[in-house]
Amino acid sequence: MTHHEKIRQELLEQISGMRTGEKIPNELHLAEFFGVSRMTVNKVITELAKEGFLTRKRGAGSFVSRKNCSRKVITILLPSANNIPFHLQYIISGATEAARELGVGIELIAISPDNTKDHIDFSAIEHLSESSYVLVVSNWFYRVFPFLNERKCKVLLLDRQLLQFAPENENTKKFQILDCNIQAMVHNAFQRLYDAGCRKIAFRGMKPILQSISCHYYELELEQRNMKGLLLANNGGNLRLTEAELDSLTRFKPDGLIFDAQHFRSMMGSDFANITNIPDGLSYEVIQFNPYHNFLDRNPSSEEIDGMSAGNMAIRMLLDPERPKYKMLSPTYHPESSGCSNTNQLFFEVI
């Protein structure tokens, strides 16, 4: 094998494990590393640039290009690195698991420096093109939809139901959709309480209420059944019901409660009702709560959307040669049970 062939082979191996847009070492450094002249290195880099593996920028150096990259890469768009919700961590982990099995890479991009939907760093996704695979995990990113559509990226949106809180956008018509059935989860919890005889069912959800998809479906249940309800806004992710919330419950006198626990990472103790301060004798159902993430002596009846499954399925949909347009991910129901340890481990493999 000639020096040229050896350098080319080793550079291609390094490039396959690098992120698009990442800078490779300069020619002088590579020449010293391989023990050859700078001219030899220059010829290899020029060749790789012509083939689309590298992009050369005058005065700046050579950068990894997406075109003809030997390894497919899935780009996952995220909020700022300091504000990744717990359920999103599981989506990323599930996506990574599928990517590893399918032999593709994962690229995580935080596209808002200050985590506001109006402040998008488009330079972070400038490299995306019609050969790009992009996973968008919520309607929070709707301002990038026209950009992704213009670049003709292959995009999967998870999840469609959230779009009702974003401005109407024609660009999503070309996206694949993995629809997490939040409506079914709320309906099932409501129906179990209703079947148990409850006729005044309250709901404890996240603030702001107007942007909570689960709260929206709770109000829809009330409307369809012509029932009165009570929305309690959990401000700041508080685990326990506050005195103000307990006062509201006392005045409303509910016989049932749906408790949205989507932002709770884990709990340890005797049982859910004691930890969250739910009044004695009040029937309740918990949604978006996975008992395998907690260490309670007794787990409540609960229902969840499995983030690991959502991330795994999203990657497989994106890479499916037949590219299915739409799939529905149903919630998983966990009846009341004895507690169990945390068996689901998060893992990441980022290129």
Tens of pLDDT, residue by residue over 298-337, are: 889 999 988 889 999 999 999 998 889 999 999 999 999 8
Q: Do domains 73-180+307-330 and 182-304 have the same CATH topology?
A: yes
Q: What is the DSSP letter of 23?
A: B
Residue type, 16: S
Say how far apart CA 113 and CA 115 lie, in whole Å.
Answer: 6
pTM of the model as a whole: 0.70
Preceding amide of 208 cis, omega within 30? yes
Say how far apart CA 4 and CA 41 lie, in whole Å.
Answer: 8
Q: What is the CATH number of domain 73-180+307-330?
A: 3.40.50.2300
User: 283: part of which helix (H) or strand (E)?
Assistant: strand 283-287
Say how far apart CA 285 and CA 300 lie, in whole Å.
Answer: 7
CATH topology of domain 3-64: Arc Repressor Mutant, subunit A (1.10.10)
Query: Nearest-CA neighbor of 311 among 101, 80, 71?
Result: 101
Q: Where are the domains of the chain?
A: 3-64, 73-180+307-330, 182-304
Contact present, 37 and 69 (Cβ < 8 Å): no
Q: Which CATH class is domain 182-304?
A: alpha beta
Q: How many residues does the chain have?
A: 351
* Euclidean distance between the first and the last CA atom of the chain, given in angstroms as a whole number: 29
Provide the strand spans (E) within 200-273.
201-206, 230-234, 256-260, 268-271
The tens-digit pLDDT sequence of the chain (351 residues) is 688 888 888 888 777 767 778 888 999 999 888 889 999 999 999 888 887 788 888 888 888 876 554 568 899 998 776 666 677 888 888 999 998 888 888 888 888 877 777 888 888 888 888 889 999 987 777 889 999 999 999 999 987 665 555 555 677 888 999 988 989 999 999 999 999 999 999 999 876 544 578 888 999 999 999 999 999 987 666 788 999 999 999 999 999 999 998 777 778 888 899 999 999 999 999 998 888 778 888 889 999 988 889 999 999 999 998 889 999 999 999 999 887 545 444 444 433
